[in-house]
């Protein structure tokens, strides 16, 4: 949010400006301040931000309500097939982002047809077990905990990375130019993150909470490998079990996703919300 000024003749007028993305276009929202900057500008900024947030939350609530209406209309016998399709798409994309060689159609073969392609057995097993854990996560609502995250990690990676599966790291790691926290702090940081998630499910908008949780988890980087996949499961667990549709970060969008993760928390949240609104725009534009 910035303060801009416009000159009209010999007079100068001030405005608050905030850039947002709406209906696929970048737009500027303005609030007139007058011919001088008010003394209570900090309070005016908060009020303006609150107004903009209100519009955002209304869109997110529409997405939630319309998704729930759509889901109720789907026969129970069809829901299972629909969830399997989501599992195929999510498993393919989340693994591809991390370098898996398994294609979308091969993922479908592994999950739906139980056919193993001629690809590294590591990639095949990770696809198979990721889908199993994903579907299990959707079916059974559990309070977020370290035990649950460790369980997911152990099951997904027990056949491909047995030496690290289901264990928090005990060594330093670097992700690009980001040095993850000291391994001795991992458990404390994860306890803090879990507490934050469970305390705020009814205090913070759920989509924002999913974004914050994912960002914080990736910065902690608690596992030796597989952090991206567990982090994306975490965000979708929060969304799904609070009645919001999920978000699949597509492989083709991985560069913008990685770029956003390199930024600070506030900017990652903005990225996440833009992606979420873009993916589900039909649900709030009804």
Q: Tell me if 99 sits within 8 A of 51, measured CB to CB.
A: no
- The DSSP H or E segment spanning 88 is helix 76-97
Q: Which of 153, 214, 221, 280 is catalytic?
A: 221
Q: Tell me if 207 sits within 8 A of 238, measured CB to CB.
A: no
3-state secondary structure of 61: helix
- The DSSP H or E segment spanning 55 is helix 41-73
221 tagged catalytic:
yes
State how far the Cα of 181 lies from the Cα of 221, in Å rounded to an integer. 8
Contacts of 26 (CB under 8 A, 6+ apart): 19, 20
Residue 241 backbone dihedrals phi, psi, to 5 degrees: -85, 5
State how far the Cα of 266 lies from the Cα of 246, in Å rounded to an integer. 21
Catalytic residues: 221
């Amino acid at each position: 949010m910035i303060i801009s000024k416009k000159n009209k003749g010999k007079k100068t007028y001030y405005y608050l400006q905030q850039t947002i993305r709406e209906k696929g276009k970048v737009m500027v929202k303005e609030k007139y301040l007058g011919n001088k900057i008010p003394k209570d500008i900090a309070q005016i900024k908060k009020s303006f931000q609150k107004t903009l947030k209100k519009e955002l939350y209304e869109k997110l609530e529409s997405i939630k309500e319309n998704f729930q209406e759509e889901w109720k209309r789907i026969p129970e016998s069809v829901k299972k097939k629909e969830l399997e399709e989501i599992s195929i798409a999510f498993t393919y994309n989340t693994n591809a982002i991390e370098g898996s060689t398994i294609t979308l159609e091969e993922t479908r073969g592994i999950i739906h047809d139980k056919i193993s392609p001629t690809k590294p057995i590591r990639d095949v097993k990770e696809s198979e077990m990721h889908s199993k854990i994903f579907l299990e996560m959707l079916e059974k609502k559990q309070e977020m905990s370290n035990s649950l995250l460790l369980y997911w990690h152990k099951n997904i990676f027990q056949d491909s990375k047995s030496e690290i599966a289901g264990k928090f790291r005990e060594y330093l790691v670097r992700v690009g130019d980001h040095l993850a926290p000291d391994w001795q702090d991992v458990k404390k940081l994860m306890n803090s993150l879990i507490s934050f998630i469970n305390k705020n499910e009814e205090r913070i908008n759920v989509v924002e909470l999913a974004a914050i949780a994912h960002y914080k988890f990736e910065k902690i980087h608690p596992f030796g490998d597989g952090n991206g996949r567990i982090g994306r499961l975490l965000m979708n667990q929060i969304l799904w079990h609070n009645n919001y549709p999920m978000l699949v970060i597509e492989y083709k969008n991985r560069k913008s996703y990685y770029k956003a993760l390199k930024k600070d928390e506030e900017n990652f949240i903005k990225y996440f919300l833009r992606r979420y609104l873009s993916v589900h725009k039909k649900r709030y534009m009804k």
